[in-house]
Amino acid sequence: MTAENRPAFAGLEVGHVVAEREATFTRDTLVRYAGASGDFNPIHYSDAFAESVGLPGVIAHGMLTLGTAASVVEEWAGPGNVVDLQTRFARPIPVPAMGEAAVVYTARIGALDAEARTARIDVLVEFEGQKILAKAQAVVACA
């Protein structure tokens, strides 16, 4: 990876929003993700099973939620420039049998490290006004 494909460190400011996106998850989305990932846990396709284990119904895959967060950051940072990604899963995203679950992603500069030339990007992930991921953070290498 070369410095010219990285975001410029100069001009970055803590608190600045670098990317926003709304993603919609449907049951079809979950089927496609299950096929791609190999995660066929019935909590992602069977309301009866999900409810039997205490969930509100079928829920989105956690890694689908986090992967979408990562892609929001990467679209701003450029391919290969996200050098670390961490989170804790705070709550599930119920996906209705008909319709969709609209999830809002906001990526904001949380900290800058001039010596390392990196930016910590804090990603707020919300569904129906509730935080889905806790302390979702990506570190981006800058030029």
Q: What is the DSSP letter of 4?
A: G
69 near 60, Cβ under 8 Å?
Answer: no
pLDDT digits (tens, 9 = 90+) for 33-65: 999 999 999 999 999 999 999 999 999 999 999
pLDDT of residue 2: 61
Cα–Cα distance, 29 to 103 (Å, whole number) = 13
pLDDT at 4: 72
Query: Helix, strand, coil shares of the chain as percentages rounded to 5?
Result: 25, 35, 35
> Is 3-25+61-141 in CATH node 3.30.565.10?
no
**Distance (Å, whole) CA 84 – CA 99:** 34
| Tens digits of residue pLDDT in 86-124 | 999 999 999 999 999 999 999 999 999 999 999 999 999
Point out the least confidently predicted range of 1-5, 61-65, 128-132, 139-143. 1-5
In angstroms, rounded to a whole number, what is the distance separating the alpha carbons of residues 62 and 135?
Answer: 14
Residue 112's pLDDT is: 98
Task: Give pLDDT, residue 16.
Answer: 98
DSSP element (H, E) containing 113? strand 101-113
CB 125 within 8 A of CB 88: no
Inter-residue contact 33 to 39 (CB < 8 Å): yes
